[in-house]
Chain A
Amino acid sequence: MIAHKREPVLSVRGLSKMYGKGCPSCQTLTGPEFNNNVCPVCSSILALHDISFDLYEGEILGIVGESGSGKSSLVQCLYFDQDATSGEVYLAHYNEGKDNVLNIPASKKRYLRNHLMGMVYQNPVLGLKLNISSGGNIAEKLLAADLYIYEEIRERGKKLLEKTEIPMYYMDEIPKKLSGGMQQRVQIAKALANNPPLLLLDEVTTGLDVSVQARVLDLIKALQQELQISMIVVSHDLGVIRLLTNRTLVLKNGRLVEVGLTDQIMEDPQHAYSQLLVHSML
């Protein structure tokens, strides 16, 4: 096991995300006991409820759970794609972790997204503009961080392609023409553009060929070792989680049902749902 510094780069406390208006019964009538996240009274979806965890420097944290358990909602709230309904999020790199970044102004959130975070979406359409060249997609992240020197943007773009093992001649090609695996690499290159301390990866290998999957996973592992970025890796594939992560959160119907070292969860899952999850995989 890698020893981590004890300072969390990211602290999440009591995070909740509701799609819909919500009512007093939402909390009490949803969750793993009901095997449901839809409130029977008001039909709101309680996608996440009272989620708390820390992410330590240089750590890869896994988030696993069945479809609809709230994995994407969680990373999208952290990346400000979705507004969390309540809760607190602290980033060590932002004002020494003193501010709940869920409450800072939109312009500051934009700054955080562009300078301190990178995101790779399950669906490349969300992370890339498929009609703009790969280099242009990477440039967007650099421009969003106020780099307005054309030649430097080109140089940085080339280095990022190199780092993510994308052939140089794809730089000025539109991602629409690239394979799914290449598109995910371009997303990773874009996410890394401003050397963020935090990288969010949502189902980065889902839908790829097994051999392509393996190479993308190798790349992520290599990048993490080289750059010491803290990462959150979302997957419903325990194989991916086992390969990449040190610790894992298990989500079910929007609730956190288990947290622990990935190896321990795989060997000896505590929560009934985790047991089901692990055993169904074996």
Chain B
Amino acid sequence: MNNLLAKTKGTFQYNFAFIDEGSKREIRRKILKAIAIPGHQVPFASRELPIARGWGTGGLQITMSIIGPDDVLKVIDQGCDGSVNAVSLRNLLVKTTGVRTTFDSREATIIQTRHRIPEIPLKEGQILVYQVPLPEPLRRVEPRETETRRMHGESEYSPLWVSLYEDIVKWQAVSIGASYPCRVNEHYIMAPSPIPKYDINKLNMAENLNLFGAGREKRIYAVPPYTKVEPLQFSDKPFTIEDFSGLSCRRCGARNTFLDEIYDEETGEKYYVCSDTGNCDLLRQKNQEELRDEHDCA
């Protein structure tokens, strides 16, 4: 048991990954149930953590329950490894586990994320853990929890479909941006956390395991590897993703990534950079290597 205890700088000793083993086992049981019923929200007893609910505690509890000493961890917030939230969550996890961390999504065995799926397709053996604020896709049409639960149970999804219909009548297109409702494994409809529409297709038949944790709402759900995930769409009004055509990343030059819009503080000029900073760094590195190779030839 000693090797499960990570010593911290102070006098306190936390259990490995902070949460006690009994609670971890309980959460792992819920995760297994979630994997067995793709897209189904499984209630769990959300723990108190040294981080306020609403700041990724759902994802954090999943990560803490599945992480082992040999895992390689990546933590991102809106695709970025360096944002304050990502850094503080990463620090907490490193402090209580001592695991190796990386910015390279290919190296990571566990990636905890808020709002993005990495650009490079994930592989078997990798786990993507999502921090979810609002797990209920039917909430926009039904405020009562007892009702939404019944609706999932009976596959009564027509009210959600009607909201798409109404959007098209009013705005000629579905107005949902992030967390676009998806049908998982041709059964449950799921809120894929607030990832952009751009990332939805990455979920479909993904090789990796996807685990979703909502701390405040106490729900865990999953998309196991090789599972069908389809955005809700009318057959004659196909689902469309964010359009970045004609734009490119100012840092790495990429033309085929999800871009963040940035305003230059001095000039006020608008420009774009990759939202996935880890991938952007890799692409920049590759550009430089190519540049060096060219020099070598010359």
Please state if B154 and A150 are interface contacts (CB–CB under 8 Å). Answer: no
A106-B154, A110-B156, A136-B169 known; A143-B236 Cβ under 8 A:
no
Residues of A118-137 whose CB lies within 8 A of B: 129, 132-133, 135-137
Q: Which of A110, A132, A144, A148 contacts B166 (CB 8 A)?
A: A132
In the complex, chain A residues whose CB is within 8 Å of the CB of B233:
148
| Cα distance A178–B156 in the bound complex, in angstroms | 27
Q: Which of B153, B156, B159, B165 contacts A153 (CB 8 A)?
A: B165
A99 part of interface (Cβ distance < 8 Å): no
In the complex, chain A residues whose CB is within 8 Å of the CB of B237:
150
B168 part of interface (Cβ distance < 8 Å): yes
Q: Which of A110, A129, A135, A148 contacts B235 (CB 8 A)?
A: A148
In the complex, chain A residues whose CB is within 8 Å of the CB of B161:
139-140, 143, 148
Please state if A151 and B156 are interface contacts (CB–CB under 8 Å). Answer: no
A-B contact count (CB 8 A): 50
B162 part of interface (Cβ distance < 8 Å): yes
| Cα distance A158–B153 in the bound complex, in angstroms | 32
In the complex, chain B residues whose CB is within 8 Å of the CB of A149:
234-236
Q: Which residue of A lies closest to B234 (CB)?
A: A150
B158 part of interface (Cβ distance < 8 Å): yes
Q: Which of B153, B154, B162, B234 contacts A132 (CB 8 A)?
A: B162
Q: Which of B153, B155, B158, B168 contacts A140 (CB 8 A)?
A: B158
| Cα distance A137–B169 in the bound complex, in angstroms | 13
Residues of A139-165 whose CB lies within 8 A of B: 139-141, 143-144, 148-151, 153
In the complex, chain A residues whose CB is within 8 Å of the CB of B234:
148-150, 153
Please state if B165 and A150 are interface contacts (CB–CB under 8 Å). Answer: yes
A107 part of interface (Cβ distance < 8 Å): yes
- On chain A, the number of residues with a Cβ less than 8 Å from chain B's Cβ atoms is 20
In the complex, chain B residues whose CB is within 8 Å of the CB of A66:
none
A172 part of interface (Cβ distance < 8 Å): yes
Please state if A140 and B235 are interface contacts (CB–CB under 8 Å). Answer: no
| Cα distance A137–B161 in the bound complex, in angstroms | 11
Binary contact readout B209-246 vs A (1 if CB under 8 angstroms, 0 otherwise): 00000000000000000000000011111000000000
Q: Which residue of B lies closest to A152 (CB)?
A: B236
Binary contact readout A100-112 vs B (1 if CB under 8 angstroms, 0 otherwise): 0000001100100
Q: Which residue of B lies closest to A141 (CB)?
A: B158
Binary contact readout A199-217 vs B (1 if CB under 8 angstroms, 0 otherwise): 0000000000000000000
Please state if A135 and B169 are interface contacts (CB–CB under 8 Å). Answer: yes
Give the shortest distance, in Å, between A117 (CB) and chain B (any CB): 15
Please state if A133 and B156 are interface contacts (CB–CB under 8 Å). Answer: no
A132-B162, A136-B162 known; A150-B156 Cβ under 8 A:
no
| Cα distance A197–B161 in the bound complex, in angstroms | 25
Please state if A143 and B153 are interface contacts (CB–CB under 8 Å). Answer: no
In the complex, chain B residues whose CB is within 8 Å of the CB of A133:
166, 169
| Cα distance A135–B254 in the bound complex, in angstroms | 44
Please state if B165 and A139 are interface contacts (CB–CB under 8 Å). Answer: yes
Please state if A150 and B159 are interface contacts (CB–CB under 8 Å). Answer: no
Binary contact readout B131-160 vs A (1 if CB under 8 angstroms, 0 otherwise): 000000000000000000000011110110
Please state if B235 and A143 are interface contacts (CB–CB under 8 Å). Answer: no
| Cα distance A150–B168 in the bound complex, in angstroms | 9
In the complex, chain A residues whose CB is within 8 Å of the CB of B155:
107, 110
Please state if A144 and B158 are interface contacts (CB–CB under 8 Å). Answer: yes
Give the shortest distance, in Å, between A114 (CB) and chain B (any CB): 8
| Cα distance A129–B159 in the bound complex, in angstroms | 10
Please state if B166 and A106 are interface contacts (CB–CB under 8 Å). Answer: no
In the complex, chain A residues whose CB is within 8 Å of the CB of B158:
140-141, 143-144
Residue contacts A-B, CB under 8 angstroms, 11 given: A106-B154, A110-B154, A110-B155, A110-B156, A135-B169, A136-B165, A141-B158, A143-B162, A148-B161, A148-B233, A150-B168
Residue positions of A touching B, CB distance < 8 A: 106-107, 110, 129, 132-133, 135-137, 139-141, 143-144, 148-151, 153, 172
